[in-house]
Amino acid sequence: MRTSGHWATMAAALALITGCLTVRVPAHGTPQESGEKKHAIDLWFDKEMEKPENQSTQGMRHVVWKASEKWDAEMNRVYKKLMAHLDSKQKAALQKSQRAWIAFRDAEIQTTIQITGRMDGTMWQVVGDQQRTNLVRDRANQLIEYDRLGKE
C-alpha cells in the first residue's frame, strides 16, 4: 500500500511537470520574469498537455519529448543565426561555450537518468524527460538573449 508521503511526492512531481514549461517571454522572444508573452513552444506545450489523450504517463512523455525536439530545433536555429553575424572572436567564444554546454547537458542527462530511474512510479520518467527539455529550453533562451543583445 502506498503511503500518504508517496502521494504527496507524486503530486509535487506532477506540479513540477505541468508548471515547468511555463515561461513568460516578451514580444522579442527572450525570457524575462516580467514579460507577458509566452514563447510559441510553451504555448504549444500547454495546449498539448491539456488534451485528454495526453493525461497518461505515455501521453505526457510524448508531449515532453516533442517539446524537447522543438526546443532543440529552436536552439540550433538561433545558434546558426548568431554564428552568421558574429565576428571571429565572438564565433570562437560561442562555439567553445556551446561545446561545453553540450558536455554539461549530456552529463546532466545521465545524472537525471540515474536519479529518476531509481524512483518508484512511472511519473518519474516524465520528470526525467522534463529535466532534459528544461536544459535545452534554457540554452535556447540564452542564445535568443545573445541574439537580442547583438541587435542593441
pLDDT value, residue 13 = 53
Q: Ramachandran region of residue 8, left (φ > 0), alpha (ψ -120 to 50) or beta?
A: alpha
Beta strands at 37-38 and 24-25: parallel, antiparallel or unpaired: antiparallel
Percent of the chain with pLDDT over 70: 76
Q: Which three cell numbers stand for residue 93?
A: 567564444
pLDDT in tens, 26-72: 334 444 454 558 899 999 999 999 999 999 999 999 999 999 999 99
Mean pLDDT of 90-108: 97
How many residues comprise the chain?
Answer: 152
Query: What b/e readout covers 82-91, taking b as 16+ CB neighbours within 10 angstroms?
Result: beeebeeeee
For the cut 50, the answer to whether the pLDDT of residue 21 exceeds it is no
